Amino acid sequence: MELLVILFFFGLSAGAVAKIKGHSFFLWFLIGFCLPFFGTLTALFTSNDRRAGTRTRRCTECPHVMPIHMQVCTRCGADLPFPEPAPEPLRAQERLFEA
């Protein structure tokens, strides 16, 4: 019985961390519940979707602009290289959108 309570709190902590980072609370609750300690740790080290969502990059094959964490272009299907800091023209464009 105590084990269930402990598992519940591991699930809760993983879910809470994931929720803060913009992921599904329920999914991460299950992960934390089934994999106590590891679920919470994994949730802590996952990328922050909310922060990543504000950064974009341009496909190398077409003019499609997408979130920086995408690895395949959603328009033309091109494999994209590991994300690097946005090139200068794109940053200038982002500043234009923010203004």
Q: Rounded to whole angstroms, how far apart are CA atoms 35 and 10?
A: 8
Strands 56-58 and 65-67: antiparallel
Q: How far is the CB of 41 from Zn ion (least distance, A)?
A: 35
Q: Kindly tell me which of 34 and 78 has the beta carbon lying closer to Zn ion.
A: 78
Q: How far is the CB of 69 from Zn ion (least distance, A)?
A: 15
Q: Rounded to whole angstroms, how far apart are CA atoms 53 and 58?
A: 14
3-state secondary structure (DSSP) of residue 53: coil
Q: Rounded to whole angstroms, how far apart are CA atoms 58 and 85?
A: 11
Q: Kindly tell me which of 35 and 66 has the beta carbon lying closer to Zn ion.
A: 66
Q: How far is the CB of 80 from Zn ion (least distance, A)?
A: 8
Q: Kindly tell me which of 50 and 77 has the beta carbon lying closer to Zn ion.
A: 77
Residues at the site binding Zn ion, with contacts judged by CB under 5 A = 59, 61-62, 64, 73, 75-76, 78
